[in-house]
Structure formats: structure tokens, C-alpha cells
Structure 1
Amino acid sequence: MPSKSSARLAALTVAAVCSTVATMVVVPSAAHADTVHIHDIQGTTRLSPLAGQKVTDVAGIVTGVRTYGSSRGFWIQDTAPDADRATSEGVFVFTSSKPTVAVGDSVTVTGTVSEFVPGGASSGNQAVTEIVKPTVTVISSGNAVPAPVVVDARSVPAAYTPAGDAAASGSVNALTLRPKKYALDYYESLEGMNVQVKNARVVTATDPYTELWVTVKPDENDNRRGGTVYGAYTSQNTGRLQIQSLGAVADFPTANVGDSLKGATTGPLDYNQFGGYTLVANEIGTLKQGGLKRETTRKQSRGELAVATYNVENLDPSDATFEEHAAAIVNNLQSPDILSLEEIQDNNGATKDGTVAADQTVRKLIDAIVAAGGPAYDWRSIDPVDLADGGEPGGNIRQVFLFNPARVSFTDRPGGDATTATGVTKDHGKAALTVSPGRIDPANAAWTNSRKPLAGEFAFRGKTVILIANHFSSKGGDQGLHSQFQPPARSSETQRHLQATAVNSFVKDILKVQKNADVITLGDINDFEFSDTTKLLEDDGALWSAIKSLPKSERYTYDYQGNSQVLDQILVSPSISRGCDFDYDSVHINAEFNDQISDHDPQVLRFKP
């Protein structure tokens, strides 16, 4: 999903549930009973029938206390539940300051019912029912906490969500919850309650913000390395659940995909801006390691051209990851003949001083590769216009070609710069670029505040191969899979569709000149292999995404919110895709690991031109 920067933004803090932007949703009041229970507050939809009203002496047992971040407060749960499965028996009490209650306290709370939308209404997120401006009375302490509801493969429905109400812009907020039919309804019916998962497998590694993801459905779209594959918009993984902790950061498990939390992980079920439904644990299971190892691809044969794409995550000379990236390229990727690198930053990284050159960044990486036992790569790229290509402000990220001159030569045709477009011509009956390296249609509005494709012409054993290196616009701004709007809006697609159309048009120009030209379009496409973005890249058979040559369970390059998914792709022209002498490998060295040096896995294509 998102590029590195947007993915990190999507996990800013374990207190992210407490976005400083809140939306109060007020709905028509229900009749006010003499005694209000938590299930009366929660109601049978996602919005409380008492939103905006003051409630008095709401009783419950404290099940969890959050003392950190800007969403300090505690959860209470009624010990006298009703018989309606749609109504939750738990609710969050927002205190703003550090709560003075403890788990096991029996309390009454007087305050106002509100609906807090983490991230604000524009995020599309669901609302969290809360009691705010509370007056809390402790009746007794040391009481037993209500037994947790066990969330497991049997209790979570196979269907993910109902379709939203068309009359409400696709929102599910007003729909009556059907917890036996839909997974999101099931989780919502437990909002604020004490829940538990047992022996849960980790499907997204521990991140720097002390959170991880597990699945309670071990067989749901699983892959051989322990993850859960996201293979279609209509095939959501319902067993995913984010895990955070109410305990000390130092006690949180450092887990990789395929590890498991043995025993019970127990705590209130929350909903936050950066992942949706989240078990905030008072008790967390014991980490059992799954022994996941980083993959190594095979070495290309003498007659094979090995082409790779690798997002090196905002690499600049001040980073400490050069040796690790070099070791990965030499050992895990087996020194590909050509590397398309994304997110190479300029020589001073995020400093905004007009610097756009990246020669120091690239040279430091090449030197590290040589030191690691790899080839002395040569390189080609085009410096962007300062601050024009998006990414981290001041970083001026761009794509760079590395190539092994002992095996591959680059065909230089001068004239390329940040604003000059390369075109297609005929040279001795073959398709050729007018400018190499060159940018594709850089003035096209499709590339506004986004990276422009870098085209280059290479020669391998006398055969011409044209490469187009890409880094499409990110998924930032899309509504989450857990959104109140179903299906969620993917607004970021609009620009990627324009970008895909522009690249496809350029490839068609090449194929008009030479039908059997070897063309490879590769990079961080920031979209799935089943997406409309990919379909537009492939339009009229001009290209084909080679990751689809892998079994569905092996199609992933990135891991986000419990979903192993495709963002990085290598697409090939018919002369390559229709042959029998190519193979593809998604080399899993980063995305599944807590100590990743990039959030993307590199991809390698080997073929005989």
C-alpha cells in the first residue's frame, strides 16, 4: 500500500488512536431510561443512540487503563450483559489526564456520550463510542474482570463487511450490526470489551511503534512463510487484528512474520486511526519464534540477463544501511546485471538547500557493493527539479539504474534532463530511445509532485533491452479497509491511473517501431497486481506483470496491516512474456522482518534476450 513515508505515517505512535483531530457525531436522541447500561450507550449500530447526551452513574468494572499519549482514559465493562449480540458491553472513558482508577475497580461514571472519529471525518474512519468529561466514583477495588470474549477462527465470520448505505454515501454507520455474518460487525459488537486471542500467528512484524498484527485464522490465504496474502479487493482477510500493549514498551515482543504469541493475549478491543480494530493488551502471549530466514535468489546463468527492482527507502549518505543494502544486493540478489533503485535521495538527504545531485549517495552504495564482494557497478540517472518529485521534503528521491559493465553496456544518447522528454525512433530497423537516459513525458500532469519514469537503453550479448524505471504516486489518502465507507474510496488511484496510461502509451510507441522489442517496466508501482493501475499498464497486451507467473500464495513484496501484498512489479513486453526462458523471484529479505532495512522486498527477473 503506501510507500515507505506513508506507511510510517500510518503507524506514528501506539497512541495514534488519540489523533488530535476528532469529530463529534450527534444523532437523534433515544428515550432516556432511569438506569443507563453500557449496552444502551453502544446500541445496535456503530453510532450511539445517546450521542450528545449526558448519562449518569453508568456502572462497570475497569478492564484496562491507558496512561500514555493524548488519549488517556480507561475501559469499563458491564457485568450484567443483555441478550443482544449486536450491543457491546464495554466502553472507553476519556479522561484526558492520567486516570486514577485501576483494573478491577468497580466504578460509576457520569459524563457525556460522544463519537470520536480518529483522524477526523475526512479520514473515513469509523467512530469510537466514548464517555467524555467524566465524573468517576470508585465503589470497590480488586474485583474480578469480566471474562474475555475469545476471538478465534470460529467466531469471526468469513464475510468482511456489508455494503454501505447508498443513501449515506456508502457509510455503514447506521446499519444494524450483524455480528454473526460480517467480520467488521463482529469486531464492532465487541468495541471496548475485554477480548482474547490464543496462540495467534504473527502476520506483520513488530514495528518501531510497538505494534504488530496477528491472525486468528491460520488457514486464511496463508503462505508458506507464515503471512496472510491479500489477493483481491473481494477477498479480505477477516482474521487480522492489530496488537498493542498497555504495558511497558520494553516488554513488547520483537516478532517476525511466522512467529506466534503462545498462550493468551488479552485486553480491551479498541479502534484506532492506523489499523482499525486493535487489541490493547493487559496480558500478552509468550513469543515463540518461527525461525523465518531471509531468502536468497539463484545466480543468473551466463546467457541470462538478471534485472531487479529494489526500493531502498530514502537512502542518503548519512544513513547507516549502506553495508546492509550492499550485502543484500551481492548475497541475496546474487548481483543482478541491472538494478532499478527507487528512493535514492540527494547528497544531503532531507535538507532543503537546493541540492539535487545524488552522485555521493550512489557512489557510497557502489563502493559498499564492491567491498561486499560484488561488481563495480556503473550507473545512470537524471537529477529532478528541486522539490518537484514528492517524497520526503528536501530529499529529491529519484530512480537510478545500476548496471554491471562486465556484462551489460548502456547506450548513451545525450540530451536528457529533468524536463526533456525522451521519444522513440528507429535505428537500423530496431526501436531506440531518442534520449538515453531520459524521462518519459515529464511535463504530463500525471507526474505532478511524483517521480518521473526513467528510461534507459541497454545492450546484452548484442541484444537491445529498453528499461523503464518507475515509482508511482503513493496510496496516501486512501480510506482504510476498515473504513465506515464500504467499499472504501481509493482516491490515490486517480493519479496512478494517469501514470500507468502514460507509461503504457510509451511502451506502445516502442512496439509500433519494433513489435518484438524487449521492454521491461519495473519499480515501485504502489499498487496491486490485480489493480486497475496494473490493468492500464498491461493495456492491449503491451505489458504483463511477471509476478503473476508465481503461485498466488507467493505474490507479495510488502506487508501492511497484516496483509502480504504486491506493490513492486516487473512488467515485460510480449517478446519476453511469451517465451519459456524467463523466471521471476520475489526475494523476501525485508517486509516480513522487524529489523528490515527497507519496507519493500526486491524483485528479480531472469530471461534470455
Structure 2
Amino acid sequence: MLPDLAAMSSTSFQITATTGAFPLEAGTIFTNTVEVNTTLLGDDPSNNVAETAATVFPLLYIHEIQGSGDSNTMPGAIVNIEAIVVGDFQDNDGDLFDTDLDGFYVQEELADYDNDKSTSEGLFVYAPGATDVAVGDLVCLTGEVGEYSDQTQLTLQGDLKICGHATLPAPVSLTLPVRDISDFERYEGMLVSFPQALVISEYYNYDRYNEVVLAEPFVDERPFQPSAYLDPTTEADAIDDAASLIARSRITLDDARSAQNPPLLRHPNGAPYALDNRFRGGDMVQDATGVLGQGFGIYRLQPTVAATYIEENPRPDASPAVGGSVQVGAFNVLNYFLTLDDGSDICGPNLDMECRGADTPQEFDRQRAKILAALEEIEADVFGLVELENTTGVTPTADLVAGLNDTLGAGTYAHIETGTIGGDAIKVGLIYKASTVTPLGDFVVLDDPAFLDPNNTGVPKNRAALVQTFQDNRSGETFTVVVNHLKSKGSDCGGAPDDDPVQGNCNLTRAMAADYLVDWLSTNPTGTGTGNNLIIGDLNAYDK
């Protein structure tokens, strides 16, 4: 308890500030909660009513925290900042897409910028449960300096204070390609804009993470893997240069959410994605604007306003005419399981594997309806299906055929009954239109070790292939369909030379399996083929 100062002859105190490695600059502010312990001047130290002194933290500019390197200059330090909110991504604050990064981005006031172009003037404040802020608020806060997934951030200490409001800084205009990917670092946490028209080049993670990759167009098209137009065996240097250019010519448009499979997807134009507000690869996005963040190995644009969407690649009304009398299609049904995934290991040939499909009846009904609608619209004579449940006693092809025939008429489609194929939780399958083609002989499964694990890793990598010969009911000609699901690029195969920096992980495994498959087909494995072999399925490879 502090002494009764009014009853004392002297009220002068000496306070010693402890600032660690930081000098006490003009404008130093205290933390929100300060305990001051005092010693009366001239008094005997043995009569101290308390010990030590006030704790003081420095008020720093953001560029002092960021520095000019890849990471911050003072990990673990406690600092104070005063800055403008330029990206509000707090959880449960009522925005349409429920952004949930548990924090917000702040940027230094323009008058407080330094003259060093290599230092960023913005950063992320991780502040779960903090006072709700809004873009344009001038906030005063104390935080601990750190890095999360390569992004500099302050973790809020105590409460924050909205000190006023300020004019937002103009977004920094960026143009792709950058000279080096590290050039993005100087803008980390800052409001930026990409004024050029960028092509939607990739959207693999759109449904799961609402991410779209935007890139500078290559001759008005999406960038292709360099091996699609360069020969790796004779043009290795050119491939390296092209791969570098592609990497420097792209930015990921994110959605400021961490949750997977969000119920509402954000279209690049800022509105919810819907059947009447969709996009295709090859369409363009201009004036993409937001905060440049970093996470999970890449730089990301967390949008703050809508971009301009330009439709450049509309869906054709009909498939191109290619001739012929029989249509064959390959369709990845993305883990179509009749057995719901409740977390139990009850799927697979031995009923000891995790199920990979829908978690609820509602999810299953939605998946089934979408697959059937697509199959009905395509209405191919033969479909090779990929990622079907491979559980003993479960026949997903029969279920899909039943659904098709409910709409198209009894007996329209039939399926090849195979039982389980291989040892994985998923398999490939075949369905066909009985009025146009007829299966000849029995199906054959290619599950040789030299095909499943051609690089001798000790673990099967490719999935067993399904082979069936058909006869065209109109012409009498025969053809053999081979449905494949080769190893994906999602996990490695032990490093080089199998894992290729351009062709992706397990490139050698896929290439060796393809060679083996071609040689095997030349032996007429069904005993009824005439050399008209059609290799289809998910080959998980680029075109060259």
C-alpha cells in the first residue's frame, strides 16, 4: 500500500524506467496497467515502502518492427504502436463472409513513413476477443512482436484503444511479374492493389479454402507448366527460367478466413459465388485490392474491396464436334462413398480404413445429385469413374446407374461389376450405355507391383487400373478402355529423381507406370481387343 502522501513533508519521487534493449524515445507511452513502486527521496532504503519501478514500453513505428529482412527485428519484444486499421478481419463482427483471422491489419500514418523502400509500413495484429475495430480507426495498443507462418505480427497485450480516425493510405500499386518473390516482403501487411488485368490461372483450393490464383497472362492465356512447351531433356535451363517467371507472375487471392469448406464462397467480384455469379479459368480479374499477407509458404492478397471481374472464357454451349460414333468420358467423382464417414475405420477391402466421403446424409444427397446431373448432361456411352468407394459389399457404380436410370429410363445405363479392386479405400469403375455398346469378355485388373510401385519404394503408389473391351453395337468395331488413377502430386515419393520441381512429386512413378501400362496393353490382356486402346482417368500429370 502506498504511503499517505498528504501527511508527509516531501512528495518527490524517483522512478526508474526499465526498457530492455530499447531507448526511451520522445513520445514513450506506458502500458495500460502500470504498477509504480516508490522510494521517498532521502529516506533510508530500509524504510522503502516498495521496490523497483514502473515498467515502460517504447512507442515504435511499424517499419522499425518490420525491418528490411524477411522477418521482424525484435522477436519477443513488447512494444506500443499507433496506426490505422486497413483490414478488419476480426471474428464475429458481422461481415458478409464471416472473416475470422482473429485480428486486423494496421498501417503507419503517411507522415510517419520512413524513407527506406525496403521496410514495410504495415503488420497484422493478432487480437482474439479484442474490442471491435473498423477500417479507418486509429488504434493505440501494446503487443508482443512475433512471426506466424512467416508473417510479422503483434499479439495484443491487454486492451486496445481507439484513439481516433484517420484517412486511409492509398493502396500501393503493384505490377506482376515482380523482380524477385522477396520483393513482396517490403509490402507485407500493407494495403496494395494490382491494377493490371490478371488471368484466373488456378482454383484448385477454391471450394476448400476460397483461394484463387491470379497471374499475368502469357500471350492472353493462363500460364502453362514449362514442360508443356519446352523439352526437359534438352531445354533444362529454359524450363528453370520459365518456372521462375511463372512464380514471380502470380498472387493468391484469399478470403481472410481460416476455416475449411466455408458455406459461402467469395467471388473475386466481392459477391457470393452462385450459379448466376460464377467464373471459369481463363477469365480475368482487374484492380484486385486488399492487404498483402503471408502464410503457408506464399504471399496472399486478403481482399478489402471488390475487384473487377471480366468474363473472357465463357462456357461453350456444346462440346466441340470431333467425329466418331461412340463417346467415352472420364469423371473423377471425388470420393463418392455410400458409407457415411463418422470417423470409424469401417471402409476399404478389409473394413479397416477411414471412409472418405460425405459426413452426413445431407452432404451425400448433395454430392449424389451433382454427380448425376453432370453425368446426365454429358450422357457419354462409356464413363470411367475415379475415386469410388472400395469397400467389400458396397457398389457405388450400381447406385449411380440406378440414379441415372430413374431419370433417363430403365436399362439406359449398366455397370461393370468388379467387387473391390486393389487395397486402397478408393477405386476406379466403369458404367456404360447398354443401347450403344456391349462389354466383350471379362474385365481385367492391372495390379502388378511393377505398375503400382514401379520405383520400388515398398509402398503401392498408383492405384490398380481397370480394363474392359467394348463393342460398338452399330458398327461392330471393338475398343478397349483402361481407367487409371495414378499417384498424385500431393505427397512426395522420397525425393529426386522421383519428385520433380516442374512436373511435381512422384513424376517418375507416374512415367514408369505409364510405360509399363502401354507395354502391358500390347499383350491384349482382355483377349478380345484389337489394339484400339483408350487410356483414360486421372493421370495426375501435366500434358508433357
Shift of 1:191: 0.9
Q: Is the 8 A contact 1:105 1:139 kept in 2?
A: yes
CA RMSD of aligned residues (A): 4.1
Residue 87 of structure 1: SS of its match in structure 2?
coil
Provide the residue aligned with 2:428 in structure 1.
399
Equivalent residue number for residue 189 of structure 1: 186
Matched residue of 1:283: which SS?
Answer: coil
1:378 corresponds to 2:414: yes
- Alpha-carbon distance, 1:106 to partner: 2.8
| 2:58 aligned with 1:46 | no
Residue in structure 1 matching 2:395, options 351, 357, 366: 357
- Show CA shifts across 1:214-250 (max 9, x none): 6363x33543xxx55455574325133314258x978
Instruction: Classify 1:315/1:43 alpha carbon distance in 2 versus 1 (closer, same or farther; 3 Å).
Output: same
After alignment, is 397-406 or 460-469 more displaced?
460-469
Partner of 1:343: 387
Does 2:447 correspond to 1:440?
A: yes
- Residues 281-300 of structure 1: matches in 2 within 5 Å? 281-285=303-307, 292-294=314-316, 296-298=318-320
Query: How many residues are paired up?
Result: 410
Q: Label 1:502 to 1:186 Cα distance change in 2 as closer, same or farther (>3 A).
A: same
Contact 1:75 1:91 in 2 (8 A): yes
Give the C-alpha shift of residue 138 in structure 1: 3.4
> Partner of 1:37 in structure 2?
61
**Pairing 1:56-455 to 2, within 5 Å after superposition:** 56-68=79-91, 71-79=101-109, 80-117=112-149, 127-135=150-158, 137-138=160-161, 140-153=163-176, 156-157=177-178, 181-182=179-180, 184-198=181-195, 200=197, 203=200, 207-208=206-207, 211-213=210-212, 215=214, 217=216, 219-220=217-218, 222-223=220-221, 229-232=224-227, 234-235=242-243, 236=246, 238-244=249-255, 252-254=271-273, 255-257=278-280, 265-273=288-296, 276-285=298-307, 292-294=314-316, 296-298=318-320, 301=323, 304-316=325-337, 318-320=364-366, 325-326=371-372, 328-329=374-375, 331=377, 333=378, 335-345=379-389, 355-367=393-405, 370-371=408-409, 376-384=412-420, 388-389=423-424, 396-413=425-442, 436-441=443-448, 446=453, 448=460, 451-455=463-467
Q: What amino acid is aligned across from residue 124 of structure 2 in structure 1?
A: F
Whether the 8 Å contact between 1:382 and 1:438 is mirrored in structure 2 is no
Equivalent position of 1:167 in the other structure: none
Q: CA deviation at 1:202?
A: 6.1
- CA–CA distance in 2 between the matches of 1:445 and 1:72? 45
CA distance in 2, matches of 1:146, 1:216: 25
Task: Give how far 1:299 is off.
Answer: 5.5
Mapped partners of 1:133, 1:458: distance in 2 = 67
What amino acid is aligned across from residue 57 of structure 1 in structure 2?
Answer: N
Check 1:341–1:209 CA distance in 2 against 1; reply closer, same or farther (3 A cut): closer
AA at the equivalent of 2:540 = N
Q: Deviations for 1:425-455, whole angstroms, at most 9, x for unmatched residues?
A: xxxxxxxxxxx23233269763737632112
Counterpart Cα distance in 2 of 1:327 and 1:378? 17
For residues 90 and 488 of structure 1, what CA distance do their matches in structure 2 show?
Answer: 36
What's 2:486 paired with? Answer: 472
Distance 1:409 1:379 in 2: 11
Amino acid at match of 1:362: L
- Give the superposition deviation at 1:458: 3.1
Aligned-residue identity in percent: 22
Residues 533-590 of structure 1 show CA distances to partners (whole Å, capped at 9, x for unaligned) of: xxxxxxxxxxxxxxxxxxxxxxxxxxxxxxxxxxxxxxxxxxxxxxxxxxxxxxxxxx
- Structure 1 segments unaligned to the other structure (5+ residues): 1-29, 118-126, 158-180, 347-352, 390-395, 414-435, 480-486, 531-609
Q: Tell whether the 8 Å contact from 2:143 to 2:157 is kept in structure 1 after alignment.
A: yes
TM-score, normalised by the number of residues in structure 1:
0.57
- Helix, strand or coil: the match of 1:278? strand
Shift in Å, 1:268: 1.6
| Cα separation, 1, equivalents of 2:284 and 2:322 | 36
Q: Which blocks of at least 5 consecutive residues in structure 2 are unaligned?
A: 1-19, 26-59, 92-98, 228-238, 258-263, 339-363, 454-458, 494-498
- Could you tell which deviates more after superposition, 139-148 or 197-206? 197-206
1:146: Cα distance to partner? 1.9
* Higher RCO structure, 1 or 2 (CA under 8 Å, sep 6+): 1
**What is the CA–CA distance in structure 2 between the aligned matches of 1:526 and 1:309, rounded to whole Å?**
13
Distance 1:327 1:282, change over 3 A: closer
Aligned to 2:44: none
* TM superposition shift of 1:470: 0.8
- Given that 2:452 and 2:462 are in contact with CA atoms closer than 8 Å, whether structure 1 keeps it comes out as no
Contact 1:148 1:266 (C-alpha < 8 Å) held by counterparts: yes
Counterpart code for 1:128: Q
How far apart, CA to CA, are the structure 1 residues paired with 2:104 and 2:285? 25
The answer to whether the aligner puts 1:529 opposite 2:543 as a matched pair is: yes
CA distance in 2 between partners of 1:137 and 1:222 (Å): 48
Query: Residues 195-224 of structure 1, C-alpha deviation per residue, up to 9 Å, x if partnerless?
Result: 12347556156945683536363x33543x
Deviation at 1:363, TM superposition (A): 2.1
Aligned residue for 1:361, secondary structure, equals helix
SS of the aligned residue for 2:479 comes to strand
Structure 1 partner of 2:53: none
What is the CA-CA distance between 1:316 and the residue it aligns to? 4.9
Displacement of 1:192? 0.4
The CA distance in 1 between the partners of 2:533 and 2:102, in whole Å, is 55
- Paired with 1:253 and 1:297, the residues of 2 have a C-alpha distance of 28
Q: Give distance in 2, aligned partners of 1:93 and 1:470.
A: 48
| 1:378 and 1:405 in contact (8 A); partners too | yes
Task: Give the Cα separation in 1 of the matches to 2:206 and 2:505.
Answer: 27
TM-score (norm. length: structure 2): 0.63
Per the alignment, do residues 354 and 296 of structure 1 end up closer, same or farther by CA in structure 2, a change over 3 Å counting?
A: same
Offset at residue 133 of structure 1 (A): 4.2
1:456 corresponding residue in structure 2: 468
Given that 1:259 and 1:291 are in contact with CA atoms closer than 8 Å, whether structure 2 keeps it comes out as: yes
Partner of 1:19: none
| Residue number in structure 2 paired with 1:519 | 533
Equivalent pair of 1:245/1:252 in contact (CA under 8 Å): no
CA 1:307/1:354 → structure 2, altered by over 3 Å: closer, same or farther? closer
